Amino acid sequence: MPHHDTTALSGTIQHVFAHRFTFEADGATHLADLGPKGADAFPLATGLRVTLEGERRPSEIKVTRIAAEGREPVLIQHKKPNHPPGAARPDVPADPATALAAAAADGWSVTGAPRKKPKHFELLAHRGDDVATELHVDFAGTIYKQKPADVAKWAVPA
């Protein structure tokens, strides 16, 4: 996992792009990212003078704290990627039967065929409550993510 230095800057917002913005500080222009929830908690506006802290990445600053005069400071926690457990993914062939067996062993009934992605399969599955759930299963057969199924994503094209 790469280590990113923490930085603290004060400057003026120049441009706003949803939850990202550019600002001038110390004679340079920086790109910063609040994340969608951070932008909801701290509305951005061109010309606003802000003080921020965050992790300096190669392309931007991931803001962890932002403040402006007359506003309460906002702490921002960025969601970490949800990948299978362990640092390395197993080097095994992509076999949909493995993903289907993992789902069945965990009590899921799968609808349709597994969809292969570069590092996992996605399955539309149900349990007794009949709520559609999307499962992410790595090639070794580990279910590492479950989320409500997006009906439009799983709809059969006409």
Q: Convert the pLDDT of each residue in 34-47 to its tens digit.
A: 988 899 999 999 99
Residue predicted with more confidence, 88 or 9 = 9
Give the mean model confidence (pLDDT) for residues 21-40. Answer: 93
Domain edges within the chain: 6-75, 96-154
- In this structure, CATH architecture of domain 6-75: Beta Barrel (2.40)
Residue at token pair 């289907």: 100
Tokens of 140: 């070794």
Q: How far is CA 55 from CA 13, 45, 94, 156, in A?
A: 18, 22, 36, 42
Helix (H) or strand (E) holding 60: none
Classify residue 144 by burial, with Cβ atoms within 10 Å: 0-12, 13-18, 19+: middle
pTM over 0.85, yes/no: no
* 3-state percent helix, strand, coil for the chain, nearest multiple of 5: 15, 45, 45
Per-residue pLDDT at 87? 45
The answer to whether 52 and 60 have CB atoms below 8 angstroms apart is no
pLDDT at res. 3: 60
The pLDDT tens digits of the residues spanning 70-103 come to 988 999 887 665 555 554 556 788 899 999 999 9
Tell me which of 8 and 83 has the higher pLDDT. 8
Strands (E), the chain: 6-17, 20-25, 28-33, 49-56, 61-67, 74-75, 109-116, 120-126, 133-138, 143-148
